[in-house]
Amino acid sequence: MELVSAGARLTEGMLRKCMLNRELSWLQFNERVLEEADDPENPLFERFFFLSIFSSNLDEFYMIRVGALRDHVINKTGVIDNKTGMDAAAQLALVYGATERLYVNRDIVCQKLESELSREGVVRLNPLYGAFEKRYRRLADSFFDNQIKPRLAPQIIDASHPFPHLENNRQLIALSLEAKGGKTVFGIIPLPGGVERMYFPADGRYILAEDIILEHCDAIFKHYKLSERAIIRVTRNADIVAEAERFDEDEDFRDHMTKLLKKRKRLAPVRLEIRGANCGKLAAYLQKRLSLTPAQTFYSTSPLEMSHYLSLGGKLEPRFHARHSYAPFDPVNPAYASSYAETLRRVRSGDLLLSHPYEGIQPLFTLLRGAAEDRHTQSIQITLYRVDRQSKLVDLLITAAENGKDVFVFIELRARMDEENNIVWARRLEEAGCKVFYGPESYKLHAKICLVTRRDGMRQEYITHIGTGNYNEGTARLYTDVSIITARGPIGADASLFFNNLMLGLHDVNANYGFICVSPQGFKQRLIGLIEKEAALGERGLIIIKCNSLTDRDVIAALAGASCAGASVRLIVRGICCLKARIPGLTENIRVRSVVGRFLEHARIYRFGAGEGCVIYIGSGDMMTRNTERRVELFMPVLDAAIKKRLCAMLDVVLRDNVKAREMGEDGLYSRVSAQPGANAQPYDKNVSAGGDRLESQAYFLREAAAASGSVSARNIINRGPVFSLLTNISSFIKRRRAQERSQT
């Protein structure tokens, strides 16, 4: 690969020293999520939430990333990781080893959390590792006989009963049995649907349905001698690439995706999980039938499916919930957002910045609701990638279409794990009269933009919304994102050209945009150019980037080149980071940090230069090759001086976080930032004042928004101190966490 000029001084060998493997970097990120589950400063139920998210993250990683690597091995594609030079088989070996360690750590954390919960009087009865007390056994027997047994479909596997299809990530009971004559047979019991997973036989005591079934296996297979039993789960490859599948041009793409989703359910297994002891014969049998190796088999003492922890709090006494959960926080909505006329007036007088979840998305809803009724509205155009399952925003688009407005919706049907939801919304929008388009054939449409076009007499007006996060009300309360609403004509003209290019299939040409940048042609070149400009300033150069992942080799080379030139590079990368920081002579001027906290850090902010003259972009894409080369992404420059100053201040706060931040060392591993007096307290920008010694960025932004709202609950958040300021109402916690769980899986 030819390196960009900023990294031209770096040889291939030098560049390799600066880079980490993508898969191992992601596993490190998920380990940071697990660390939050182990952090005693977090409320107890929130720690269970982090534990559940860690597990669901790992599920998706195996379905997508490991599934893709397995395909490369099976198909002998010869694909090599361009950061480390490893082939797919070598990467998988390291992934399996790292995963095994994570399972051990997860079991330790889960046991620790359940022990803490038991001291509060809430106990999970676990027959797999200890017998029930008699009184609980009688109650469990009754629940089994009345609620579970009628729904069971146990099966023997032999010549007359073939090995069944094991559904992706569905828990089952697997058994090794001895028939008459000493013949070994195997049995399967799928967990039935429609059964409450948690059964509470007494106050504070609960049993999982799979454990109750496990206790009754002797009775279910009473004609056999039970030798081994375990709860198992099989994870299947879900990495279907729509472009790689045969597609008839006369076929509707929505129908094509529907067929692919059905195919996904039967793809090859990539992981076997076993919860049980002394089941070597059973494990060997399952590995053989599923074509899996021992390295792909992981043992756990914890529940294999942890979503029940999200709803556990809702089963208990409300004051108990409040004591062990984050304080509820309602996003702040400005007063002008209650009126369409006032929202228009405010955006005409200057750009509006929204910082989610600290501030709500009501200004956008007010704008769309008013536009749907406004006789001067000509059209509404929007891109949709991930949409809430109960979306008010989609309802507003439908209302606008029913009112005779031209509504153009560009929806990406290949949004991984949200495909079915997007297909449903595409049908509904189309039926309501919206003009629905799908993402381009060769690129995923990941841009986040909405354009309202108005005409009053001879005057045409654009109102444009561009952001870093999806148009999803659920995640807007859980992810940190920023967005800008602007009435600037040049930005609106660019937005109009962008939508025209989408309709004409010109998304991959270097269009003549005046201000915005669009991938795959525009942003990478602009980004590298801005990096090189700061590199040319030497020690006076400053680059601060906040994103979710960094994998693009060209960008890594440019950043390393800027470091070699003496520029200061500060990267806030939540997840995957393939750039290794602090290497003497190579990346010694680069610092990489990751913040994992109450909210999922999701904003993409790119800053170049120090002081008021800096250049800032916000947009939809990360510095990953998929974003820079294989997706339609959109970025806009921040033109409003006040918004630019505020974004600089926000970046500075995150860079001074010494509670939830981890920094990468020279070895590529992360460690928590010290909160020692004076540590990390100095700002990176002279226009930002230094804070106190202890700074948790998300708590800081919560207090900032709370102070702006002036509400009683807001004042409580400010006054309770660093730990208790984040405790209370579990009902709100459950609702929001379920929404996040749906959006991430």
Residues 6+ apart with CB under 8 A from 74: none
Q: What is the pLDDT of residue 318?
A: 76
- Residues 575, 744 contacting (CB under 8 angstroms): no
Query: Is the pLDDT assigned to residue 119 strictly greater than 70?
Result: yes
pLDDT at 266: 60
pLDDT at 678 over 50: no
Judge: domain 127-247+268-306, CATH 3.30.1840.10: yes
What CATH fold (topology level) applies to the domain 5-16+528-725? Endonuclease; Chain A (3.30.870)
Choosing from 216, 308, 446, 507, the catalytic residue is 446
pLDDT for the residue 625 = 92
Question: Looking at residues 553-557, what average pLDDT do you find?
Answer: 95
**Domains 5-16+528-725 and 127-247+268-306 are alike in CATH topology:** no
Predicted pLDDT at 248: 45
Preceding omega of 331 cis (within 30 degrees of 0): no
Element (H, E) at 646: helix 641-655
Strands, E assignment, 69-224: 123-124, 155-157, 172-178, 184-190, 198-202, 205-208
Contact 478, 357 (CB under 8 A): yes
pLDDT attached to residue 256: 56
Residue 656 has pLDDT above 60, yes or no: yes
The pLDDT score that the predictor gives to residue 707 is: 86
pLDDT computed for residue 512 by the predictor: 85
Using an 8 Å Cβ cutoff, are 555 and 627 in contact? no
Q: What percent of the chain has pLDDT above 90?
A: 71
Letter string b/e over residues 220-234, b meaning 16 or more CB atoms within 10 A of that residue's CB: bbeebeeebbbbbbb
Q: What dihedral do alpha carbons 672, 674, 679, 683 form, nearest 10°? A: 20
**Burial group, residue 153, by CB count within 10 angstroms (0-12, 13-18, 19+):** exposed
What is the per-residue pLDDT across 199-249, written as a single tens digit (0 to 9) for each?
998 878 899 999 999 999 999 999 999 999 999 999 999 876 544 444 444
Q: What is the chain's length?
A: 745
pLDDT at 580: 97
What is the chain's mean pLDDT, rounded?
Answer: 87
Q: What is the pLDDT of residue 2?
A: 38
> What is the pTM (predicted TM-score) of this model?
0.88
Instruction: Write out the H or E segment, with its range, that includes residue 635.
Output: strand 634-637
Query: What average pLDDT does the segment 344-358 reach?
Result: 97
User: Is 446 considered catalytic here?
Assistant: yes
Query: In this prediction, what percent of the chain has a pLDDT beyond 70?
Result: 87
* pLDDT given for residue 708 in this prediction: 80
- When comparing pLDDT for 443 and 265, which is higher? 443
DSSP 623: B
Chain segment 267-298, per-residue pLDDT in tens: 899 999 999 888 999 999 999 999 999 999 99
Mean pLDDT: which of 133-142, 440-449, 462-471 is highest?
462-471
Give me the mean pLDDT over the 54-67 stretch.
96
Mean pLDDT of 78-82: 92
Q: Whole-angstrom Cα distance, residue 144 to residue 142?
A: 5
Tell me: domain 335-504, CATH 3.30.870.10, correct?
Answer: yes
Residue 152 has pLDDT above 80, yes or no: yes
Bridge-based pairing state of the strands 600-601 and 634-637: unpaired
In this predicted structure, what is the pLDDT of residue 132?
A: 65
pLDDT at 715: 39
Q: What is the mean pLDDT of residues 398-415?
A: 94
More confident residue, 255 or 561: 561
Distance of alpha carbon 243 from the chain centroid = 24
Predicted pLDDT at 721: 32
- The region of weakest confidence among 9-18, 218-227, 642-651 is 9-18
Q: What is the mean pLDDT of residues 673-698?
A: 59
Cα first-last separation, the chain: 35
pLDDT at 259 over 70: no
CA angle centred on 15, ends 10 and 20, rounded to 5°:
160
pLDDT of residue 133: 75
Burial readout 415-454 (b: 16 or more C-beta within 10 A, e: otherwise) = beebbebbbebbebbeebbbebbbbbeebbbbbbbbbbbb
From 37-41, 328-332, 604-608, the region with the lowest mean pLDDT: 328-332
Q: How far is CA 293 from CA 273, 297, 500, in A?
A: 12, 7, 51
Give the start-to-end residue ranges of the domains of the chain.
5-16+528-725, 127-247+268-306, 335-504
